[in-house]
Structure 1
Amino acid sequence: MSTTLAIDFGTSNSLVGAYHQGKVIGALPVDPKASDPTLMRTLLYFPHADQCFYGSEAISNYIENDMEGRLFRSFKSHLPNQGYLGTVLDNRILTLESLVGVFLLELKKRAEAALGTTVDRAVIGRPARYSMDSVADGFALHRMEKAAKFAGFKEVEFVPEPLAAAFDYRKNLKEEKLVLIGDFGGGTSDFTLIRLSEKDFKREDVLAIDGCPLAGDALDSVFMSQRLSDYFGAKSRYRLPMGSNVLSMPPAVTQRLNHPAHIVHLKEKETYEFIREVRKCSLTQKDKDALDRLFILIEDQQIFPFFESIEKTKRALSGQAESDFSFDYPGVEIHEKFSVSQFIEWAMQTKEKIFASLDACLASANVQPEQVDLVCLTGGTGQVPFIRQEFEKRFGKERLQTQSHFHSVLSGLVEYIPAALGK
């Protein structure tokens, strides 16, 4: 049979494997300049409309070009948003489907070069849910289908990511077990309840799949929404000319400001001009100063390094009670101290939604936590202490198991291909 690629297209990182010449091939070296060549960060950098860099080269060229141009990160998270059509770059319209398609095409080209053959078939991982709204979820999948066609794939199957992770864990089982798979990425938290054994896979082995569109990026965003966004005008007040009402920054702006995938779109013309007008009409010098910092963040292309600093702080709080946040850039000098207790309090709503989807997964299969034999967690968010502690509370520490943070889904997708073909 012809070669089939397995693609784990993630919010933060992407990997590619293959079923080639009757053999399962693990992660391919699609980003040779990365510290792990099999792991390509899901980044696109356009110095201008006619040139694009990917993964580690996107970061290095972005820095070399003094952060001019457009860097896109976490763009997968826009898929269920029917109001987000894409962006404009040098008067050229880039739809979201084409942004995703360009990235998938590059993954395809690099995999083909590694395998020495052309490929037009793919199995691509998908979250259990792109959105809690079924219409938005279907819309996101439709967009992914269009992006895959844009990339040149003629045949595509989308496999839930937690189901793929289950195939990876299945390799090490010696007897049948009822297993809960928790797969945590940058954008989604996904769960699969499945009976796993050495026997051939049957679709009825999957008892339930559920999830929610919240994970690592949502945890990053709480640092912005709860404190750091104030430095960039989230609470700035203004009064329009000839008006008497004191107004505050509208949610349409503050919501973009708080999220790493959305903040780049503050640079789009209509929003940008609105913020300029707010700055002119600011009530106090403090309000003006905050918006000046926002303009520096946007105009000097400091969004990416700023959110990298937030991510670093979040990771530090996994191992210590407090962490200093420090960002030193001329005009944007911010120093704050964050504690684990603050992080837990701010993230409570996100945590509750993640575990509500877990409860829904168990309930749909009519399974109680004590009936689950093994809980397998993959992805960085699953290692956040207060998330992991909740799993320990529900299932017991002895039933928890972790695998490779990044490779489990890809490994499972590759294993899925011959199983689905009955090979």
Structure 2
Amino acid sequence: MSDSFLAIDFGTSNSLVGAFHNGKTHGALPLDHKAADPTLMRTLLYFPNPDLCYYGAEAIEQYIEQDMEGRLFRSFKSHLPNQSYLGTVIDNRIVTLENMVGIFLLELKKRAEKHLNQQITKAVIGRPARYSMDPVADGFALHRMEKAARMAGFTDVQFVPEPLAAAFDYRKQITKEKIVMIGDFGGGTSDFTLIRLRAEGFDNKDVLAIDGCPMAGDALDSVFMSHRLNQYFGAKSRYRLPMSNNVLTMPPAVSQKLNHPAHIVHLKEKDTYEFIREVKKCSLTAQDKEAIERLFILLEDQQIFPFFEAIEKTKRGLSAAVDFDFSFDYPEIEISEKFTTTQFVDWAMNTREKIFEGLDRCLESAGVGAEQVDLVCLTGGTAKVPFIQDELEKRFGKNKLQTQSHFHSVLSGLVESASFWANGQKVT
């Protein structure tokens, strides 16, 4: 029986892999040699055709080299709880969501095995505190992950909540017992664990509560589209169908996909694409038609990824300044807009409220007041957004926040979970 286990932090935006191998822990393995940080692999799939796939940094490189033909998928993890989303079609080949996740996990597995020079069939994989607020959808997402892991060749898998894994990593920094709130703010989810940490030892009873919210960085990116930028791509375009006097506006089913980085790529699917083409033909004004033409250029010239990268840049810019100039200069999609921090805070109110409802539920289910928490440890880029920081400071006080977040804290805890498993103790 092998004592080797992979530890996989499969993230919405980035993924990392470590291992417990031959009795030793291995931190983040260098899996993507084309990335600036070889241990950090972008969670990207690029299919130039149905029979070929590129991953991580090479996915972006090949996407650009091949004139942005084919299909680039990002944030596909966020579809897991959506029971109505079955997958996609690439040149008449059906690719289910489980296939997409399984293909990516298999690539992580193969690269890790090559580095460790051993085949490994056991894995500890991180999971959000909640894939969805709906328990049925949450269970469905986990079932899909289990299926994808089997497709990738794992015969034995343990799923560990990501904020609990982060707690194991932060335990290394303490010398006496403390009640710690771990906040893991990723691309797709915001997760919280309230845990009693001590320098040595772990018991499942030390986990006081786990909760979260299926909203984080991507949800914040989407507010720029939904409140301002989607109008450039036909979200408000009006049209009149033949033989009808009714003036219609682009349906929410289309505009909602347009708003989200994980969903917009699916506007290219045949039925939706043909519907948008009909809307363009029946557009009420030249301006309405121009906006839809801009959408076709965005889709056909494969500008979705760079456009949302520009939105991400704007979000980061507003974390450091009171306003920021959004600029996108691809031919026929030249867009310039000035955004302010005040607008961002206002537009993001619903997302912020949902995130902190998850945190407050975590405290409430543990029966612990914010004043009883000794330390708040934060990981993930969204934790650096100023209004997220401000809310945390209101609840816990600035002196309790440890905000030097880094990508590897969750992985480090998953590797430790793998070592527990190797020694006969599973983390639940």
Regarding TM over 0.5, the answer is yes
- Residue-by-residue CA offset, 1:232-280 (whole Å, 9 max, x unaligned): 0000111110011111111100100000000000000000000010111
Cα distance in 2 for residues equivalent to 1:349 and 1:152: 40
Partner of 1:333: 334
Partner of 1:113: 114
Partner of 1:407: 408
- What secondary structure is seen at the aligned counterpart in 2 of 1:57? helix
- What secondary structure is seen at the aligned counterpart in 1 of 2:138? helix
Superposition map of 1:141-220 within 5 A = 141-220=142-221
**8 A Cα contact 2:102 2:149, kept in partner:** yes
Cα distance in 1 for residues equivalent to 2:48 and 2:200: 51
Partner of 1:367: 368
- Residue-by-residue CA offset, 1:105-151 (whole Å, 9 max, x unaligned): 00000000111111000000000000000000000000000000000
- What secondary structure is seen at the aligned counterpart in 2 of 1:66? coil
Root-mean-square deviation (Å):
0.8
Superposition map of 1:301-320 within 5 A = 301-320=302-321
* Structure 1 runs of 4+ with >6 Å offset: none
Cα distance in 1 for residues equivalent to 2:240 and 2:405: 53
Partner of 1:77: 78
1:319 Cα shift?
0.6
1:199 Cα shift?
2.7
Cα distance in 2 for residues equivalent to 1:345 and 1:257: 21
- Residue-by-residue CA offset, 1:351-408 (whole Å, 9 max, x unaligned): 0000001010000011110000000000000010110111011100000003442111
Partner of 2:51: 50
Query: What is the identity, as a one-letter code, of the residue corresponding to 1:16?
Result: V
Partner of 2:25: 24
**8 A Cα contact 1:126 1:159, kept in partner:** yes
Query: What is the identity, as a one-letter code, of the residue corresponding to 2:352?
Result: K
Q: Are residues 1:298 and 2:299 paired?
A: yes
Cα distance in 2 for residues equivalent to 1:99 and 1:390: 36
Partner of 2:248: 247
**8 A Cα contact 1:16 1:410, kept in partner:** yes
Cα distance in 1 for residues equivalent to 2:128 and 2:273: 32
1:416 Cα shift?
1.6
Partner of 1:393: 394
Segment of structure 1 superposing worse, 395-404 or 127-136: 395-404
Cα distance in 2 for residues equivalent to 1:185 and 1:107: 19
Q: Are residues 1:270 and 2:274 paired?
A: no
**8 A Cα contact 1:238 1:282, kept in partner:** yes
* Identity of matched residues, %: 74
Query: What is the identity, as a one-letter code, of the residue corresponding to 1:85?
Result: L
Cα distance in 1 for residues equivalent to 2:361 and 2:268: 39
Cα distance in 2 for residues equivalent to 1:217 and 1:42: 14
Partner of 1:258: 259
Partner of 1:358: 359
Cα distance in 1 for residues equivalent to 2:185 and 2:278: 40
Cα distance in 1 for residues equivalent to 2:236 and 2:404: 42
Query: What is the identity, as a one-letter code, of the residue corresponding to 1:86?
Result: G
**8 A Cα contact 1:201 1:419, kept in partner:** no
Q: Are residues 1:234 and 2:223 paired?
A: no
**8 A Cα contact 1:43 1:58, kept in partner:** yes
Query: What is the identity, as a one-letter code, of the residue corresponding to 2:337?
Result: E
Cα distance in 2 for residues equivalent to 1:405 and 1:139: 30
- What secondary structure is seen at the aligned counterpart in 2 of 1:159? strand
**8 A Cα contact 1:174 1:198, kept in partner:** yes
- What secondary structure is seen at the aligned counterpart in 1 of 2:105? helix
1:417 Cα shift?
1.8
Query: What is the identity, as a one-letter code, of the residue corresponding to 1:312?
Result: K
- Residue-by-residue CA offset, 1:21-69 (whole Å, 9 max, x unaligned): 1111100001011000000000000000010000000000000000000
Cα distance in 2 for residues equivalent to 1:61 and 1:407: 27
Q: Are residues 1:129 and 2:135 paired?
A: no
**8 A Cα contact 2:237 2:288, kept in partner:** yes
Unaligned runs of 5+ in 1: none
Cα distance in 2 for residues equivalent to 1:253 and 1:399: 44
**8 A Cα contact 2:123 2:418, kept in partner:** no
Cα distance in 2 for residues equivalent to 1:25 and 1:329: 43
1:422 Cα shift?
4.0
Query: What is the identity, as a one-letter code, of the residue corresponding to 1:258?
Result: N
Query: What is the identity, as a one-letter code, of the residue corresponding to 1:60?
Result: E
Cα distance in 1 for residues equivalent to 2:227 and 2:404: 32
Cα distance in 2 for residues equivalent to 1:179 and 1:393: 17
- What secondary structure is seen at the aligned counterpart in 2 of 1:117? coil
1:90 Cα shift?
1.2
1:421 Cα shift?
4.2
Partner of 2:90: 89
Cα distance in 2 for residues equivalent to 1:329 and 1:13: 26
**8 A Cα contact 2:45 2:56, kept in partner:** yes
- What secondary structure is seen at the aligned counterpart in 2 of 1:183? strand
Cα distance in 2 for residues equivalent to 1:207 and 1:341: 36
- What secondary structure is seen at the aligned counterpart in 1 of 2:319? coil
CA change 1:13–1:30 in 2 (3 A) is same
Cα distance in 1 for residues equivalent to 2:298 and 2:418: 45
**8 A Cα contact 2:3 2:422, kept in partner:** no
**8 A Cα contact 1:200 1:419, kept in partner:** no
Cα distance in 2 for residues equivalent to 1:90 and 1:285: 32
Partner of 1:37: 38
- What secondary structure is seen at the aligned counterpart in 2 of 1:360? helix
- Number of residues of Structure 1 aligned to a counterpart in Structure 2: 423
1:172 Cα shift?
1.3
